[in-house]
């Protein structure tokens, strides 16, 4: 299997994954992960400096894929869902959310390019005032000394660099899992079972749907809801768990979709 890896600008793990899934239409489990890894390492080598953040990101994705793959290969799995399974599902849906987001911005980028291309067919007038208005123009160099000029030259002649080290939090979307968990609990507690589709009918974006899915999983993990799915690809039915009555409040999850700490 061949991998088309861009050579000029590094496209990133999501693009590679998306290409594999979308263009080659392969089952990811039949993709030789080592192929992706090789392509990636080659890409890393070609970069001037090792991009630790990207490398870490890729290893994380590769690890999730390997684990998903290994589970699929196991013939028998315990019928009940374990903590580990849930954690894996969370990772999987996190990954899915990221892929959907990445796909969205790729398409948006292409649309911007189209706008630019169309706009470039109509060029602005930039000729400026005729010579006879020249005397009216103010001295644009007022207040500018040789040292200002030197600084400007240094800025212009150097590659623009911004502070490289940042400790930052990543905000994937406005809706947090924590918020959704609370909203879902209020919606479900003491009410009859609802489908996941109903729970998300007001969602504004797919990311939001995914966040709701994670919220449901979180409630499930805490034993507050039960999830039923009658058939493969069927509707997910979510119901408040009777055994707990309406006593506990849901514990706020880590909210890892909201705060992903990047160390680097």
Partner 1 sequence: MGFDDSSSERTSEAAIEAVLTVATDPVPPRLLAELLELPADRIESICARIAASYEREGRGFRLARVAGGYRLQSHEAYAGYVERFVLDGSPQRLSPAALETLAVVAYKQPVSRAQISAIRGVNADGVLKLLTARGYVEPVGRDAGPGQPVLFGTTSLFLERLGLDSLAGLPPLADFVPPPATVEVLEQALRPEPGV
Q: Which is nearer to partner 1, 174 or 246 (CB)?
A: 174
Q: How far is the CB of 263 from partner 1 (least distance, A)?
A: 11
For 238, the enclosing helix (H) or strand (E) is: strand 236-240
**Among residue numbers 65 through 94, which ones bind partner 1 (CB under 8 A)?**
68, 71-72, 77, 88-89, 92
Q: Which of 41, 63, 87, 171 binds partner 1 (CB under 8 A)?
A: 171
Q: Which is nearer to partner 1, 159 or 242 (CB)?
A: 159
Q: Which of 121, 192, 202, 247 binds partner 1 (CB under 8 A)?
A: 121
Q: How far is the CB of 41 from partner 1 (least distance, A)?
A: 15
**Among residue numbers 213 through 242, which ones bind partner 1 (CB under 8 A)?**
229, 231-233
DSSP sequence for 165-227: ----EE---SS-HHHHHHHHHHHHTTS--EEHHHHTTT-SSHHHHHHHHHHHHHHHHTTSEEE
Up-side HSE of residue 129: CA atoms within 13 Å toward CB?
7
CA pair distance 259, 167, nearest whole angstrom:
12
Please tell me the count of residues contacting partner 1 according to CB under 8 A. 110
CA 120 from centroid of its chain's CA atoms = 32
Q: Binding of partner 1 at residue 247 (CB under 8 A)?
A: no
Q: Binding of partner 1 at residue 202 (CB under 8 A)?
A: no
| Closest to 62 (Cα-Cα) out of 84, 85, 39 | 39
Start-to-end Cα distance in the chain: 33
**Among residue numbers 11 through 70, which ones bind partner 1 (CB under 8 A)?**
11-15, 18, 21-22, 25, 27-28, 51, 53-54, 57-58, 61, 68
């Amino acid at each position: 299997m061949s991998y088309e890896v861009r050579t000029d600008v590094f496209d990133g793990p999501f693009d590679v994954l998306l290409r594999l899934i979308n263009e080659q239409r392969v089952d990811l489990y039949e993709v030789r992960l080592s192929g992706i890894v090789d392509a990636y390492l080659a890409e890393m080598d070609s970069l001037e400096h090792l991009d630790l953040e990207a490398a870490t990101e890729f290893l994380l994705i590769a690890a999730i894929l390997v684990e998903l793959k290994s589970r699929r290969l196991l013939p028998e799995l315990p019928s009940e869902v374990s903590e580990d399974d849930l954690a894996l599902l969370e990772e999987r849906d996190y990954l899915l959310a990221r892929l959907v987001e990445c796909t969205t911005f790729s398409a948006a980028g292409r649309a911007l390019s189209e706008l630019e291309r169309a706009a470039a067919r109509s060029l602005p007038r930039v000729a400026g005032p005729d010579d006879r208005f020249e005397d009216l123009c103010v001295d644009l160099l007022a207040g500018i000394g040789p040292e200002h000029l030197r600084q400007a030259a240094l800025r212009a002649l150097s590659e623009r660099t911004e502070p490289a080290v940042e400790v930052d939090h990543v905000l994937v979307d406005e809706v947090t899992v924590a918020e959704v968990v609370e909203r879902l609990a209020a919606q479900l507690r003491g009410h009859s079972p609802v489908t996941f589709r109903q729970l998300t009918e007001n969602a504004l974006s797919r990311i939001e749907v995914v966040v709701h899915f994670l919220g449901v999983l979180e409630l499930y993990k805490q034993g507050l809801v039960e999830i039923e799915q009658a058939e493969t690809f069927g509707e997910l039915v979510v119901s408040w768990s009777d055994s707990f009555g309406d006593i506990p409040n849901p514990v706020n999850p880590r909210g890892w979709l909201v705060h992903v700490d990047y160390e680097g």
